[in-house]
Amino acid sequence: MSSKPHLPRLLLASTSPRRRQILESLNLVFEVVSPGSDEASAHAGNVEQVTMENAILKARSCLVSAKFETDIVIGSDTLVVLDNEVMGKPLDEAEAIQMLTRLSGQWHRVVTGVALVSKKYGELKAHDISKIKFKNLTSLEIKNYASTKEPYDKAGSYAIQGLGALFIEKIEGSYTNVMGFPVEKFLSELSRFSHIPLKEWFS
């Protein structure tokens, strides 16, 4: 698909298939580019700032791929927080089991930073927060899930859009944010950033 001539080109600075699928579901025209930045580490007290900083570093690292001044690079970064601990991606099955055991029966937060970077429009960063309540899980449910491939590239060791959906009791906030890309926040910020009404992006 080619971009509409009157609209800026969108570049997604991410190798995440979930973020790509979410943008594709919006029928927006975009290209995928691989970010080359290192991610900052986070603790529970600064997680919102870190996700936004990581998102903007990813977007900046791909600005070299912009062919036109109006091109907009999209960066995103997601972290899972339980109590005062940031949960990253599990290194192995034992760590996945440990994370899921701790999440069982508990509320936790999913925080996603979104950044937009353009030679013409400048830079913008924002974040969204969703709250998720896990069901009480049995050790067998946890072990069976950890034996699948699903937990191992996911912060918090689960995917809400996959088998991990079976673990969710309640969710407050954006569902797509839990997937790793908050559509509602992104669309509102895209319109504000580009000064182009959303109806033109979707006309």
DSSP annotation of 91 reads S
The string of pLDDT tens digits covering residues 178-190 is 999 999 999 999 9
- Sign of the four-CA dihedral 55, 56, 61, 67: positive
> What does the alpha-carbon distance between residue 53 and residue 76 come to, in Å, rounded to a whole number?
9
The string of pLDDT tens digits covering residues 72-99 is 999 999 999 998 888 888 999 999 999 9
pLDDT at residue 203, as a whole number: 75
Which domains does the chain show, CATH number per domain?
10-201 (3.90.950.10)
| 118, containing H or E segment | strand 107-118
> What does the alpha-carbon distance between residue 116 and residue 75 come to, in Å, rounded to a whole number?
6
> What does the alpha-carbon distance between residue 77 and residue 94 come to, in Å, rounded to a whole number?
25
DSSP per position, 50-81:
HHHHHHHHHHHHTGGG--STT-EEEEEEEEEE
> What does the alpha-carbon distance between residue 33 and residue 163 come to, in Å, rounded to a whole number?
28
- Parallel/antiparallel/unpaired status of strands 72-82 and 122-134: unpaired
**Greatest C-alpha distance within the chain:** 55
Burial of 1 (0-12, 13-18, 19+ CB in 10 A): exposed
pLDDT < 50 positions in the chain:
1-2
Placement of tokens 């919006």 in the chain: 26
Q: Please give the positions annotated as active site.
A: 77
> What does the alpha-carbon distance between residue 23 and residue 86 come to, in Å, rounded to a whole number?
26
Q: What are 74's two structure tokens?
A: 């999209």
Q: Which of 98, 73, 58 is nearest to 186 (CA)?
A: 73
What per-residue string of b and e applies to 61-99 under the rule 16 or more CB within 10 Å gives b?
A: bbbeebeeeebbbbbbbbbbbbeeebbbebeeeebbbbb
In this prediction the pTM is 0.89
pLDDT at residue 154, as a whole number: 87
